[in-house]
Amino acid sequence: MIVSPAVLLYDADNNPIFKSCGDSFQQSHSAIPMLVRKDDDTYCMPVLDSNFALKVSGSPPVPPPATTPFGLYAPRLGTSDPLVVGGTEDSDSEAIGNGEKFYLQQLVPGAEGDPSDKGSKVEIYWVTGAGEVEHLLTRRYVQARSISYLYPNWHTTRDGTSMVGDGTYTKIRIRRTRMGGGSPEIDVELYGYLE
């Protein structure tokens, strides 16, 4: 099995298992005792969840001083249905004021489902112009769980469009799409800030 980690890993004798984040390592053992070196040069054992996936925790992102926290939730309480019928989509949007620059910090999508179905899709768009041109910011596929994705203060879309509001047409849009049958709940929380 080839593993390419996003963190530097060390064995129990403080020998690096990977020399850099891009290096690969051919695993020749069924298990490797390892430690993770923290920023302060101390070491700790990685924590695994019940599925033996690496558990990662940390503080939620905080907007910088002198900015305005921004949150958008889909569905909005009392305004739309959390259920999305199979093969259909549902969208929620929030306008962005003139001159305000939007930064994405965290996305938390979640959906009902089971391993036998096709799951759900959540997309975040920056919308511009009277014709509502959609610029994709991120897309996530979810099934039977909620996962938190952290972003490094993104302020441009995938096509390079800067997310600065014009006060008239610009908005952030959350689109929830059911890929398979049924009508499960699909919930999304989006956090960021305006500068």
pLDDT for res 27: 44
For residue 138, the number of C-alpha atoms closer than 13 Å in the C-beta half-sphere is 19
Q: Where are the domains of the chain?
A: 1-57, 68-194
Q: What is the mean pLDDT of the chain?
A: 74
Burial of 22 (0-12, 13-18, 19+ CB in 10 A): exposed
pLDDT tens column, 96-121: 999 999 999 998 888 776 656 677 88
Please state the rounded mean pLDDT for residues 154-168: 91
pLDDT for res 40: 72
Q: Which of 111, 173, 164, 110 is nearest to 136 (CA)?
A: 173
Q: Degrees (nearest 5) of the Cα angle 89, 183, 118?
A: 75
Domain 68-194, CATH number (from 2.60.120, 3.30.310, 1.10.3470, 3.10.20): 2.60.120
- Global pTM reads 0.66
DSSP states along 41-54: S-EEPPPB-TTSPB
Integer-rounded Cα radius of gyration of the chain: 20
Specify the 3-state DSSP secondary structure of 88: coil
Please state the rounded mean pLDDT for residues 78-82: 54
Please state the rounded mean pLDDT for residues 170-190: 83
Q: How confident is the model at residue 25 (pLDDT cuts 50, 70, 90)?
A: very low
pLDDT cut 70: percent of the chain above it? 59
Please state the rounded mean pLDDT for residues 46-53: 64
pLDDT for res 4: 37
**Which phi and psi angles does 28 have, rounded to 5°?**
-110, 0
Strands 120-128 and 133-142: antiparallel
Lowest-pLDDT range, 42-46, 126-130, 134-138, 141-145?
42-46
Specify the 3-state DSSP secondary structure of 101: strand
pLDDT tens column, 134-144: 999 999 888 77
**43 or 174, higher pLDDT:** 174
The token pair that represents 26 in the structure block: 């051919």
- Tell me which range, 31-40, 60-69, 114-123, is most confidently predicted by mean pLDDT: 60-69
User: Distance between CA atoms of 164 and 126, rounded to whole angstroms?
Assistant: 9
Sequence length of the chain is 195
User: Distance between CA atoms of 103 and 3, rounded to whole angstroms?
Assistant: 32
Q: Which of 192, 194, 195 is nearest to 71 (CA)?
A: 192
pLDDT tens column, 83-96: 666 666 777 888 99
User: Distance between CA atoms of 55 and 50, rounded to whole angstroms?
Assistant: 10
